[in-house]
Amino acid sequence: MTLHLDGDLLRTFLAVADSGNFTHAATRVGRTQSAVSMQIKRLEEAVDAVLFERGARGVTLTNKGSQLLGNARRIVALFEETAALFDATALEGKVSIGIHQEYAEERLANALHAFDRRHPGVEITVRCGTSEENLARVQSGDLDLAVIFDWQGHSDGEVLMVDPTVWVTSEKHLTHERRPVPVALFRDSAWSRDFAIPSLESCGVDYRVAFLSAVKGGLRLAVTSGLAISPISRSDIPPGCRELTAGEGFAVVDHSNVVLVINPSSRSAAVAGMAEAIREAFSTFAQPAASAA
């Protein structure tokens, strides 16, 4: 059998495999969910095999899908490397970027990978930290640019999107029905004290702090395991979980702007190219961006 594999189909396959969810994959590749489903169907027809098992909580790879995964990564990487060889606009230089952990695992990771493939002559340095840390590094000149959360409207950057923080519960465990409801919060966080807890108290929710974490992954674990509900960005709600609504007695915690801040002294073509790659990474979101204060 002679296979004719399309690079776009393989990229979509990788997006679904990595996210475990057609909706999240659609965001990553900039297509509608129905278009992603159609692409996967075309790929399955091309290889004459079922690649994913569909379930209530997302999709998982079949044995054939797992066998394809490694080769698909190598093929897509070769496509990107080949394109970079013939790209007359390839950049050179150095870029240092700060990213928030909220977007480090997927959206910005993909953007950074694509940029690195297209511009192998650019030396990229990444710092993953809090918004406060990375903003301070941009202002001091230690970073060329950063993507930060701004829930107070104090930054002077370019708003990429509005990403509300909402209370999230497990669909399977129904943790939100307990009283007092167990909540998971960031440890030693002014944001938790000034925003998350007041949002519960303003709605009269009887709660107890059951889980403290220094990183986002801990909050996601608390929710998916049913140990607690937690405030999570709407764009980052884990599979098998959902937003708690006003009708259920919970309020939106904040309406954070996701902001790109650039060191005004960093004017190289490499920095400008990285900024454009970041804009593209967020351009698939339909939520309107508010103006930065």
Give the C-alpha separation, 28 to 282, whole Å: 9
Give the C-alpha separation, 108 to 104, whole Å: 6
pLDDT number for residue 288? 37
Phi, psi of 53 (to 5 degrees): -100, 125
pLDDT number for residue 175? 96
Other Cβ atoms closer than 10 A to 167: 26
Average pLDDT of span 53-59: 81
pLDDT number for residue 290? 36
Strands (DSSP E) contained in 205-253 are 207-213, 230-233, 241-243
Tell me the whole-structure pTM to 2 decimals: 0.62
User: For the segment 143-200, what is each residue's pLDDT rounded down to a tens digit?
Assistant: 999 999 886 666 678 888 888 899 999 999 999 999 999 999 998 888 899 899 999 9
Give the C-alpha separation, 241 to 229, whole Å: 10
| Residues forming a β-bridge with 230 | 168
Closest CA to 24 of 47, 69, 57: 57
Residue 287 has pLDDT above 50, yes or no: no
Going by C-beta distance under 8 Å and a sequence separation of 6 or more, which residues neighbour residue 217? none
pLDDT number for residue 291? 33
pLDDT number for residue 105? 63
Average pLDDT of span 204-215: 94
pLDDT number for residue 96? 96
pLDDT number for residue 285? 52
Phi-psi region of 87 (alpha: psi -120 to 50; beta: other; left: phi over 0): beta
In three-state secondary structure terms, 44 is helix
> Alpha-carbon torsion 43, 63, 32, 55, what sign?
positive
Average pLDDT of span 254-283: 87
